[in-house]
Amino acid sequence: MNARFLVLWFAAVVATAAAVVVHLSIRAEVVRLGYSVGDARREQRGLVESRRQLALEAATLRQSARIETVARGSLEMSVPTPSRIVPIGNEEAHRRATAGRVR
């Protein structure tokens, strides 16, 4: 009976140790996943902020006053005269507008 008790006691200790090891490994995985989720959320916040800044920059760059300043200053463009404007879409009007011009 003493040997049987030792075998059962040894089996209980091994089962308890195995349960503790499994519990600790699961706990470690939960902690690792928690850090992963935190990193992903931090990256998402950074990407959302970058997107917001890029949208603001795009809106700023699309402003007509800025485009006109760049066109006149850097590109040396000017407002076209009516004779330089060619309508698109109506072929007959286009032929009349370009009649007499040499291409």
67-90 confidence digits (pLDDT tens): 888 888 888 888 888 888 887 876
Report the distance separating Cα 67 and Cα 46, nearest Å.
30
Give the per-residue pLDDT at 64. 86
Token pair recorded at residue 41: 């959320």
- Mean residue pLDDT of the chain comes to 88
Q: What is the spatial distance between Cα 87 and Cα 83, in angstroms, rounded to a whole number?
A: 11
Low-confidence ranges of the chain (pLDDT < 70): 90-103
Task: Specify whether the CB–CB gap between 78 and 72 falls below 8 A.
Answer: yes
